[in-house]
Structure 1
Amino acid sequence: MHPLSGLEITELELFKVPPRWLFLKLKTKSGISGWGEPVVEGRAETVAAAIREIRPHLIGHPANKIEDFWQMIYRGGFYRGGPVLMSALSGIDQALWDIKGKALGVPVYELLGGAVRDKMKIYGWIHGDTPEALAEAAKKRVAAGFTAVKMTVTDQLEWIDAPYQVNAAAERLAAVRNAIGDQYPIGVDLHGRVHKGMAKMIAQALEPFHPYFLEELVLSENNDSLSALHNFTAIPIATGERMYSRWDFKKILQDGTVDILQPDLSHAGGISEVKRIATMAEAYDVAIAPHCPLGPISLAAALQIDFSCINALIQETSLGVHYNEDIDLTDYLVDPEVFGLKDGYVPLLTAPGLGIEIDEDKVREAARTGHDWKNPIWRNPDGSVTEW
């Protein structure tokens, strides 16, 4: 029997599991199953509804015909793109690649041309309410084996805020830099909280402490302002977690206003589309650092891209991140050591498909509890809504 026979999709199941994730399981006629992670944080039910709408196109479709399915769902809808539709497609795409890799007995990166590296550098999030707490958190991450960290340096911001906010941002970064020295990269995530009028002040204040990159210095809908910012600061500019296809990334690559793209494997069209985005970025001498504050399936998918793309710089992970609380991403794996962090790297995944084995019993048990995670709503002192 040909290894790709019997791969027609027969079953689809969704599992909403803590802390804020949505897992998808696809089963084929031959019995091979694949997993994906389609979710918009805070909109899990919305994405689940989109997948149920796609279901008639999925059942009976050969899982190995990944590109055909991607194009059918993307181009077959008159309205396309955006976080919900692309996240639904992303999770399905991950599961299809998982099935095809398992059917052929190889990791997904082998189907993308093979590995270009033996291990992938990752960073760990740090969190703290004071510069001292951030410094301590950074030292703990380094002690745990991370060789790079990422942090936010701002809270609520007005469109143009007082100097103390700029100074506070610099003090937070300075405390971490002083705590761990200059051998460890420190990514700075501005989370889109900074508006154009303050962006240069923030960048200038942070520059003496040599951040690895400035992530979402402005919201992606304001990417037109990146030209002036890119020419103003020596710090690499990163963005992309709220961009959903190669067409969203096209203009900033053409404009030369970004140094690192951060597509999310659960939002930007899955493995199929992020591979294309990475290839586009390489042609413009731009790195990628896939965004991944999600669960184990999304991380495994991101690593398949990292292992196959020469311009992959570093990988985000939610391992031990503060908002996971009672559940961490390895809790849903049969082998919680599969990602094997060592000296700041994840070694090459070698198992077929996405390279991980989901603990299905644990997933089904957790889905009974589910979640209703929503991001906080932040307001300024005058009561106006501001970016979280």
Structure 2
Amino acid sequence: MKIIDITTHILGNPWKNWLFVQVQTDEGIVGLGEGTLNGFAKTVEAAIHELKHLVIGMDPFDVETIGLKLFRDVYSDGGQIQGSALAAIETACWDIMGKALNKPIYKLIGGRCHEKLRCYANGWYRGARTPENFHELAKLVTAKGYTALKFDPFGSAWRTVDRADFDLSLEIIAAVREAVGPNVDILIEGHNRFTVHTALQFADAMLPYKPTWFEAPVPPHLVSSMVEVARRSPVPVACGEDYYSREQFAELLKHDAVHIIQPEPQFLGISASKQINGMVHAHNGVIAPHSAQGPVCSVVCAHLNMATPNFYMHEIFDEFNEPWEEHVLQPAMKVQNGYLQPPEGPGLGVELNLEELGNHPYHVGNWLPLFKQGWEKRLRTE
């Protein structure tokens, strides 16, 4: 079997343009992948078409060599853009392998490690940044059966905040804890916002509300800063979604300070993600992959998590997107009482609904401006 072509499709999801890839083979099997990257859909699409000549004619089963060709052989560090292009193509190759062998991907990368996957809700807190709004929406989330939910209470904060904004953030955390009760995990999203000192002030102040983790409290580029926060914070720190290479995770893990690791399969591909999960396992840590891109990424994470012994929680946006988005993939992956199963069909177990894609074209304003007031509403930026 050989790869003969790679095509791309962009869907205009209002809060992030989703980029999908189809890898064609000479045996008629078509693999599906995703290359979504906030604010860079057209850029990643261009990268895929610029790099695809490297893998045309290759056997899609040779994913390790395909990964080397798309990253090492280019001899340039394209960061998350290059990683997204690589992951899109590599995911599609895994989909092809599963279809050829009539097995779901999780059976090819380790098999079933869990009865079901516990999910945490994200993207549920659209609307006003008030304790009252967060409180009411959090109650709706737990009514759906979720036992964990994540949220960013910090507005458009960057590095430091004034006292009023500090207090408002804590009031929102308190309101969510009051809404969900003592037995639901609340996960505080930092979105790389703070200095070390501000992050530690927040970590100390949020402790009475018993958060399960404080995610990405400082930017990821200085591993020393993340390590300092992790060692001094009374709340466990989670991070990793920004990294796009094994080496970056090796640098983080060698400090044995962060033990909730969030690899982004969208930047790494399935092969590297599986290897990184093993690295985390060796450091006595757990993984909770980042799954806030598009629906294919969520399916990939489900397969990856099912085949990972040290899996912790699965991130879910899908249930809190626009209603029409459940028709983008067929069949749609459904959360039931806060848990899900990966699709059992061959490969990814889902197919792309091209007709639905045609109804929602690309728009340059479809991105998430995390440092702009009101970003939580997830509306198109005009």
* Same fold? TM cut 0.5: yes
Instruction: Determine what percentage of the aligned residue pairs are the same residue.
Output: 31
1:376 corresponds to which of 361, 369, 380: 369
One-letter code of the match for 2:229? Answer: L
Determine the structure 2 residue equivalent to 1:352.
346
**Quick one: which amino acid aligns to residue 293 of structure 1?**
A
Query: Superposition pairs for residues 155-166 of structure 1, below 5 Å?
Result: 155-157=155-157, 159-166=159-166
Which SS does the other structure have where 1:186 is aligned?
strand
Decide whether the 8 Å contact of 1:169 with 1:206 is kept in 2.
no
Match in the other structure for 1:343: 337
Q: CA deviation at 1:207?
A: 0.8
Provide the rounded CA distance (Å) in 2 between the counterparts of 1:113 and 1:101: 13
Residue 49 (structure 2) aligned to one of 38, 52, 56: 52
Q: Secondary structure at the match of 1:10?
A: strand
The verdict on how the C-alpha distance between 1:377 and 1:281 changes in structure 2, with shifts beyond 3 A counting, is closer
> CA offsets, 1:79-101, max 9 Å, x none?
13511111100111110000000
Query: Is the partner of 2:47 in helix, strand or coil?
Result: helix
DSSP-derived class of the 2:72 partner: helix
Deviation at 1:327, TM superposition (A): 4.4
In the other structure, the counterpart of 1:11 is 5
**1:69 corresponds to:** 66
The equivalences for 1:194-233 within 5 A come to 194-233=194-233
Divergent runs of 4+, >6 A: none
Distance in 2 (CA, whole Å) between partners of 1:159 and 1:220 is 13
2:257 equivalent in structure 1: 257
Code of the residue aligned with 1:110 in structure 2: it is K
Does residue 280 in structure 1 map to residue 279 in structure 2? yes
Whole-angstrom distance in 2 between the partners of 1:160 and 1:296? 34
Structure 1: give runs of 5+ residues left out of the alignment.
1-6, 381-388
Post-superposition offset of 1:311: 1.0
**Following the alignment from structure 1 to structure 2, what is the Cα–Cα distance between the partners of residues 377 and 146?**
25
TM-score w.r.t. structure 1 length? 0.90
Distance, in Å, in 1 between the alignment partners of 2:290 and 2:219 is: 15
How many angstroms apart in 1 are the aligned matches of 2:354 and 2:305?
Answer: 26
Which of 78, 95, 102 is the matching residue for 2:75? Answer: 78
Residue number in structure 1 paired with 2:379: none
- Would the aligned equivalents of 1:294 and 1:317 in 2 still touch at CA under 8 Å? no
Q: Give deviations 1:279-334, integer Å, cap 9, x for gaps.
A: 1011001111111112221111111110000111111121244xx44643x22122
Taking the aligned partners of 1:327 and 1:224, their CA distance within structure 2 comes to 43
TM-score, normalised relative to structure 2: 0.91
Q: Which residue of 2 aligns with 1:332?
A: 328
**Letter of the structure 2 residue corresponding to residue 271 of structure 1:** I
Partners of 1:145 and 1:341 within 8 A in 2 = no
Q: How does 1:170-181 map to 2 (within 5 A)?
A: 170-181=170-181
Corresponding residue for residue 297 of structure 2: 298
> CA 1:36/1:158 → structure 2, altered by over 3 Å: closer, same or farther?
closer
159-168 or 257-266: which moved more? 159-168
Counterpart of 1:356, as a letter, is V
- Structure 2 counterpart SS, 1:255: coil
For 2:274, the aligned partner's letter is K
Q: Match for 2:369: what amino acid? A: P
CA distance in 1, matches of 2:108, 2:197: 46
What is the CA–CA distance in structure 1 between the aligned matches of 2:180 and 2:356, rounded to whole Å? 37
Q: How many residues align?
A: 366
Cα distance in 2 for residues equivalent to 1:179 and 1:250: 39
Q: Is the 8 A contact 2:187 2:214 kept in 1?
A: yes
**C-alpha offsets along residues 57-116 of structure 1, whole Å, 9 cap, x if unaligned?**
122111111111112222111113511111100111110000000100001111112110
SS in 1 for 2:265: coil
Relative to structure 1, the CA distance from residue 379 to residue 147 in structure 2 (aligned partners, 3 Å threshold; closer, same or farther) is: closer
Partner SS state of residue 14, structure 1:
strand
